Amino acid sequence: MSVIPNACQAELTELRREIDAIDQQVVDLLSKRQKQVEHVVALKKAHNLQVYHPSREEDLISARRQQARDAGLCPDFIEELYRIIMHRSRVEQTGQMALKAVKPGATVLIVGGTGEMGRYFVNWFSGAGYHVRSMGSKDWPNVAVLCDGIDLCIISVTIDRTAEIVKRIGPYLPKNAVLADVTSIKKVPLDAMLKSHPGPVVGLHPLFGPSTSSLDKQIVVATPGRDDDACRWVIEQFSLWGSIIVMSEADEHDEIMEFVQSLRHFATFAFGQFLAFKKVPLARTLEFSSPIYRLELGMVGRLFAQDAGLYAEIIFATPERRELLKDYINSLSKNLEMLEKGDKAEFKKEFKKINEWFGPFGEQAMRESSFLIDKLIERF
Amino acid sequence: MSVIPNACQAELTELRREIDAIDQQVVDLLSKRQKQVEHVVALKKAHNLQVYHPSREEDLISARRQQARDAGLCPDFIEELYRIIMHRSRVEQTGQMALKAVKPGATVLIVGGTGEMGRYFVNWFSGAGYHVRSMGSKDWPNVAVLCDGIDLCIISVTIDRTAEIVKRIGPYLPKNAVLADVTSIKKVPLDAMLKSHPGPVVGLHPLFGPSTSSLDKQIVVATPGRDDDACRWVIEQFSLWGSIIVMSEADEHDEIMEFVQSLRHFATFAFGQFLAFKKVPLARTLEFSSPIYRLELGMVGRLFAQDAGLYAEIIFATPERRELLKDYINSLSKNLEMLEKGDKAEFKKEFKKINEWFGPFGEQAMRESSFLIDKLIERF
């Protein structure tokens, strides 16, 4: 690399000064934009309009893409920027909306409200202006007072204690109060709730943890129990917070979660376990890592940075789950012979069969993960 | 949700019109910005200056963050936008720089230049202005002519054929030509190259595939063979294209790659294999998926959307790799008893041990993957 002549250095400095001036204007415009968006939110809030307006967003994106083309910019680049700008504006709008209650004046009791997830719900419901009561394991002497006049009781305790707590609290609930749980299995708790409480019942499974700061596009599975009409406001409250509600029967939910939670977390656990057992040189390995490997290893490291007890509950929740995991371990052994023989043809045959089974999801996964890899490269 | 009164609708329309007008100005400014950046590139190119200027980028980010605070915007939000804007500008600058050769006028022969990866290198070296010759399996009758006067020979064939091709081409290479391979194992090819060619030798392992459109921050492992000084321009060419060069001995490289490539891909393969075997309802499963599960399943689907032969080569490359994979399968069986007994305490003990082994990487992985999950939510 050559030494920079003074004239060139001066020109470079001047160009950078001009770029900074442009950037200043951009930030000022984004600040003006935010103020206009705040007006929109105020209007929407006053008229109970929903925050997310997909067709308006797509129109806006199309207009910006066309404008980018006209201005000689890459349309994908501008779309990417505007996706972030709109997401930010949606999160802020949802944040405002979080302050709104679907059933104003209602009283909510969170059983297990002193746990991490319990405190999380206490915050959300309080933020929306509900009267919120929190009940911990030491509050049983006051249970009658705590349950008096409530409109909703949410059970937020560990999987293994849910059925017992439901049974115990049932007799104290007002007949018209909604009883809901937020456990990650649904059949057992739902049955317990229906048995313990003759009023409205709904099972909820929020697919996110207490570190999630926005509910925007986060999924809540709802399994109907009894009197759906009376339960509707609870579900609508989650919608208002930005969540996507997936309706399901408890059986279907539990079957799918065997894979989505139990199997996946166990496979990740076992992979990390093997890396630790082999004492893989982690730091050096990362230096050799393409962004995608870094991401995959990150998924493993991420698991172990979380709560061991939570994952024990998820993995060991039901005998069915444990059977599935044993199947998984045994299924891997099928590959021992192929590896022993170095049988590439067999591998390719199997690979193609699985590819066919995945169908169009493979292409979609390629696209989504490539997008994320670009993000990783940008950021880290 | 209530019906929208006309006055409110009119106000909403007006606000949206104003937001659109602001957005138009933003895009126009970004277009002006790009033109200034193009001037910077022209200057840098004329004076052989490097594209990536970390301290300038960090200064710019700090200035924009401060400005965001002053304007009542979230600094993280503005930082995020500017990371994208700067990444884009870096990719465009690197694209321009790709047109520059470290050793102008040199001739490069790509053996396997008709394969996917081979064509990829043909494009990059041609783009930088080198004289490029491509050699396929049918070109052996012309090998003497193709090798005549070349400065660099890159072997880009499958792992199992690399050693044989190296042996065959060695006698035709000019004494001072650099011989390099781009195989994903390094010990065997490097030994073969050193034996077959008395001149400069270097092993390269580009940790990316031919679908990668920019080499920005992509990793190339370089294993020194002979006469590092004579090989330097080849490595510098990859640097100029934006790659990060990791120096390593061939033995270390191969050991680490057993984990980074072979084990990881095999574990992913086996997970997909089990999902297919169990006929998991994929589409419905995705509806139940938190963004992180979608991402993890995407990593699995992604594998099967790629070339079976390539993964067979990687997984079965060496007897050591196959031994490691058998170890992995057997290590999983250790967990059978724990699952059988439903022994949560044992699980938690093991979990904590692994967490300690991962050390600070766990926290870092949490941070990085949380960032990506936010990206996924924004985009899809």
B129 pLDDT band, cuts 50/70/90, is very high
Report the C-alpha gap between B312 and B309 in whole angstroms: 5
> Please, what is the Cα angle at B98 between B96 and B100, to 5 degrees?
95
Look over chain A and give the mean of its residue pLDDT values, rounded to a whole number: 89
Nearest chain B CA: its distance from A250 CA (Å)? 13
Contact between A347 and B265 under an 8 Å Cβ cutoff? The reply is no
In this complex, is the C-beta atom of A213 within 8 Å of any C-beta atom belonging to chain B? no
| pLDDT at res. A307 | 87
B87 chain-A contacts, CB cut-off 8 A? 377-378
Q: In terms of CA atoms, which chain B residue is nearest residue A350?
A: B273
Mean pLDDT of B192-217: 91
Beta bridge partners of A220: A206, A245
Contacts of A282 in chain B (CB under 8 A): 358-359, 361
| pLDDT of B195 higher than 90 | yes
Place of tokens 């917070």: A241
**Which pLDDT score, from 0 to 100, does residue A378 have?**
64
CB contact under 8 Å between A22 and B43, yes or no, is no
CA distances A78 to A342, B79, B126, Å, are: 49, 16, 30
Q: Which fold has domain A21-97?
A: Chorismate Mutase Domain, subunit A (1.20.59)
Q: Contact A15/B43, CB-based, under 8 Å?
A: yes
**What contacts B211, CB < 8 A, 6 or more positions away?**
A370
> Which DSSP category does A102 fall into?
S
Answer whether A77 sits within 8 Å of B88, measured CB to CB: yes
Q: Which of A43, A84, A259 sits opposite B81 (nearest CB)?
A: A84
**b/e map of A295-315 (b: 16 or more CB within 10 Å)?**
bbbbbbbbbbbbebebbbbbb
The whole-number pLDDT of residue B1 equals: 42
Q: What is the DSSP letter of B140?
A: G
Name chain B contacts of A29, Cβ cutoff 8 Å.
22, 25-26, 29
**Per-residue pLDDT tens over the stretch B300-328:** 998 998 889 989 988 998 899 999 999 99
Strands A219-226 and A201-206: antiparallel
CB nearest to A83's CB, from B270, B278, B378: B378
In Å, what is the CA distance from B275 to each residue of A331, B38, B150, B188, B262? 11, 49, 50, 36, 20
Mean pLDDT across the stretch A201-210? 92
CB contact, 8 Å: B61 with chain A? no
Residues A278-318 have pLDDT tens digits of 999 988 888 888 777 778 888 899 899 888 998 998 899 88
What class, spelled out in words, does domain B107-248 have in CATH?
A: alpha beta
Return the residue matching tokens 């929109």.
A40
Name the pLDDT band for A42 (thresholds 50, 70, 90): confident
Give the distance from residue A194's alpha carbon to the nearest chain B alpha carbon, in angstroms: 24
Distance (Å, whole) CA A260 – CA A255: 9
| B contacts of A84 (beta carbons < 8 Å) | 77, 80-81, 84, 378
pLDDT band at A2 (very low <50, low <70, confident <90, very high): very low
B98 vs B329, more confident: B329
Interatomic CA distance for residues A363 and A251, integer angstroms = 30
Preferred mutation among B79, B296, B338 to probe A, highest tally of A CBs within 10 A: B296
Q: What is the per-residue pLDDT across A247-263, written as a single tens digit (0 to 9) for each?
A: 999 999 999 999 988 99
Distance between CA A372 and CA B302 in Å, rounded?
A: 12
- Choose among A1, A268, A366: nearest Cβ to B50: A1
Quick check: B351 pLDDT over 90?
yes
Quick one: pLDDT at residue A310? Answer: 86
Q: In what order do the strands lie in the sheet with B244-247?
A: B131-135, B107-111, B152-155, B178-181, B201-206, B219-226, B244-247
CATH 1.20.59.10 describes domain B6-97: yes
Q: What is the ipTM of this complex?
A: 0.77
- A25/B29 CB distance under 8 A: yes
Among candidates A48, A274, A376 on the partner chain, residue whose Cβ is nearest the Cβ of B331: A274
Write out residues 1-30 of A within 8 Å (CB-CB) of B.
1-2, 4-5, 8, 11-12, 15-16, 18-20, 22-30
Q: Which residue of B has its CA nearest to A46?
A: B8
Residue-wise pLDDT tens digits, A150-204: 999 999 999 989 999 999 999 999 999 999 999 999 999 999 999 999 999 999 9
Residue B43's pLDDT is: 84
Mean pLDDT within B263-291? 90
Mean pLDDT on B133-143:
96
Token pair, residue B33, equals: 């910005």
Q: Is the pLDDT of residue A270 over 70?
A: yes
Q: How confident is the model at residue B52, as a pLDDT?
A: 64
Across A81-85, A195-199, B55-59, the highest mean pLDDT is recorded for A195-199
CB contact under 8 A, A267 and B269: no
Interface of B with A in 256-315 (CB under 8 A): 256-257, 259-260, 263-264, 266-282, 284-302, 304-306, 308-309, 311-313, 315
Q: How far, in Å, CA of B56 to CA of B82, rounded?
A: 13
- The pLDDT of residue A279 is 92
**High-pLDDT (> 90) share of chain A, %:** 57
